[in-house]
Structure 1
Amino acid sequence: MLMNCPHDRSQGKPVKVLTLKSLLVPQALERLNSQADYQFCSSANCPIVYFSAEGDTFTTSDLKVPMFQKDPAKEVPVCYCFGWTRQRLQQDLEQHGQTLAIAAITAHIQAGRCGCEVNNPQGSCCLKNVRDYLSGRQE
């Protein structure tokens, strides 16, 4: 069931509790209701990252890592598993005239090395984020 973020009303996306367990700082993890269904809020201008129907919320300050969708810094990962930051993607483009990131990430995924469920705050593959960033659709 999709829900809307309680802060900005944007549509959430279901995320597994395992993702929250992996990425919440200890103080936030102590507040986690492991029986609740959580949703991910990707809205750039909203401080909430995860929310539940029970009213539980976790914000960017509750995460161990900066969140690509909410933090515009160049050193923030676009691909959390393999270290592709905005800065690294730009450097790759400048050095090669194109990026090798998509091919490299795809090869890692096919080899079974991807760990987005526990590394990426959105709890799913970040390859779309990389593609969107490179095409200028996501800054």
Structure 2
Amino acid sequence: MESCCQTPTEKPTTLNQCPVCHQKGKNIQLITLKAMLKPTSLETIQPELSYSFCSNSSCEVVYYSGLQTYDKDALKVSVFQKDDSMDVSVCYCFGWTRERLINAVQEKQLPTEHIREQVQANRCGCEVNNPQGACCLGNVSTFIRNLDKS
């Protein structure tokens, strides 16, 4: 029998699939959810629950926990993965939109180096600026790589 102060040897498994599209999501911190939701939606979160981010571009859901979901309209910002407009941020901390990235690449600039320098200087705030609650460098690199293919 385990005491209440011992940590369990096995973590309970949780199904981490979006209830709408059934794609596997990524866990996010509560601080991200609190930073991203509009006030009316913020009033409905259940802080004791774990929330996940759905990156499926064809799904309206951005965050979910069990049956509770928050769609794009519940957020203060547009979500890169869910909005294909040119003025949506790819890097939320330093203002790199699709359009700005395209212009920088055409001018032979290195946006990823700029972002990396800022991250190394401890200037990013991805957990409160980026809806996915994580560093954007992967999204930026993929976007630029896809530009090179076209």
Letter in 2 for 1:103: E
Unaligned runs of 5+ in 1: none
**Structure 1 letter corresponding to 2:78:** P
Distance 1:19 1:2 in 2: 20
Cα deviations by residue, 1:54-98 (Å, 9 ceiling, x for unpaired): x111000000000000000000000000000000001111122xx
Instruction: Name the counterpart of 1:114.
Output: 124
Please state how far the C-alpha of 1:110 moved relative to its aligned partner.
Answer: 0.3
Shift of 1:2: 5.1
Match of 2:103 in 1: 91
Shift of 1:128: 0.2
2:105–2:144 Cα contact (<8 Å) kept? no
- Aligned partners of 2:27, 2:116: CA distance in 1, in Å? 24
Q: How many residues are aligned here?
A: 134
2:37 equivalent in structure 1: 24
**Following TM superposition, where does structure 1 have runs of at least 4 consecutive aligned residues deviating by more than 4 angstroms?**
none
Match of 2:6 in 1: none
Which residue of 114, 119, 127 corresponds with 2:137? 127
TM-score, normalising length: structure 1:
0.93
Q: Please give the residue correspondences for 1:57-72 in structure 2 after superposition, counting only pairs within 5 Å.
A: 57-72=69-84
Match of residue 113, structure 2, among 103, 111, 114? 103
SS of the residue corresponding to residue 45 of structure 2 reads coil
Runs of at least 5 residues in structure 2 that lack an aligned partner in the other structure: 1-13
Amino acid at match of 1:47: E
- Normalising to structure 2: TM-score of the pair? 0.87
Deviation at 1:5, TM superposition (A): 0.4
Q: Is the 8 A contact 1:50 1:57 kept in 2?
A: yes
Structure whose alpha-carbon radius of gyration is higher: 2
In structure 1, C-alpha distance between the alignment counterparts of 2:107 and 2:26, rounded to whole Å: 36
Shift of 1:35: 1.1
Distance 1:59 1:105 in 2: 28
- Give me the whole-angstrom Cα distance separating, in 1, the residues matched to 2:106 and 2:116: 21
AA aligned to 1:82 is F
Once the two structures are aligned, what percentage of the paired residues are identical?
Answer: 45
